[in-house]
Amino acid sequence: MSTTRVALRPAINDAIETLRTAGVHSPQADAEHLAAHVLGVERTRLALTPLVPPGKLAEYRELVDRRAQRIPLQHLTGTAVMGALDLAVGPGVFVPRPETELLYAWALAQLEALPHDHAPLVVDLCTGSGALALAVAHARPDADVHAIELDPAALAWARRNADDRIAAGDTPITLYADDATDPTLLTNLDGRVDVVVSNPPYIPEGARLDPEVAEHDPPIALFGGPDGLSVIRRMIPNITRLLRPGGGVAIEHDDTNGSALAALLAEHGEFTDIVEHPDLAGKPRFVAAIRT
């Protein structure tokens, strides 16, 4: 049996150039993530695997070619990260973005400020893959987490991820096939919820999108009407009645809509401490507020 092995780093360097030429925004990171995926190692440990079997190199080059076609990295690896979790994603569900980690961190900080003898009640509107809801439930096993998703395809991914987390020993979340804008949504929780989080459809119709988004993320998870706020606007009354006084909400939004969303919450008259939060690139990313 042949024990021939070939150098990995030249293949990664070639992949970086291939992806850069294809217009991929993070060619080095993506090339290294794909190599780590093929080898089953952490990206930070690639240097410890300088030589690989030719078959692995062929598998790697095939994935690089598919990434160069602007198929999302997460569709190729089958996972996306939120908090401490690797979640299953693929065709039919919105891929969670790293920017949403900031909203997740805000939610954990809100829960940390609660009395320690209080079991937190959390609602995730438009949960998609279940990313925010499951990450919160993992970090706070004492929390009662409810997650809403309208799209059946996305809900199937959320259920798969929820089942995986139960198998791993996490506290179950409660999933609902429902519309986050339905006025009768979760009326049994009115005035009791500590934190509402949402990464809803918020892209204005007609916006120019990268191929990874335009061709692979489901439109129902992307577009929020002409101004990007149509879904959010109809969620606000539900959020208002669900939250207890002093409860908090954080809503992700298009980077053109931070001030407009803050104004919507202010106009509603039931929120205070309305704060616009930027992402790590300095772009407006989510608005948080406290129920009066």
- The CA distance from 131 to 80, in Å, is 9
Which residue in this structure is represented by tokens 């609902």? 176
| Helix (H) or strand (E) segment spanning residue 189 | none
Residue 257, annotated ligand binder? no
Give the tokens for residue 78: 């089958």
Q: Which residues contact 14 (CB under 8 A, 6 or more apart)?
A: none
| Helix (H) or strand (E) segment spanning residue 152 | helix 152-167
- What is the DSSP annotation of 53-114? -HHHHHHHHHHHHHHHTT--HHHHHSEEEETTEEEE--TTSPPPPTTHHHHHHHHHHHHHTS
Give the tokens for residue 167: 């198998």
Residue 278, annotated ligand binder? no
- The CA distance from 140 to 157, in Å, is 22
Residue 149, annotated ligand binder? yes
Q: Which residues contact 260 (CB under 8 A, 6 or more apart)?
A: 227, 229
The binding site for S-adenosyl-L-methionine consists of: 149, 199
The binding site consists of: 149, 199-202
The binding site for substrate consists of: 199-202
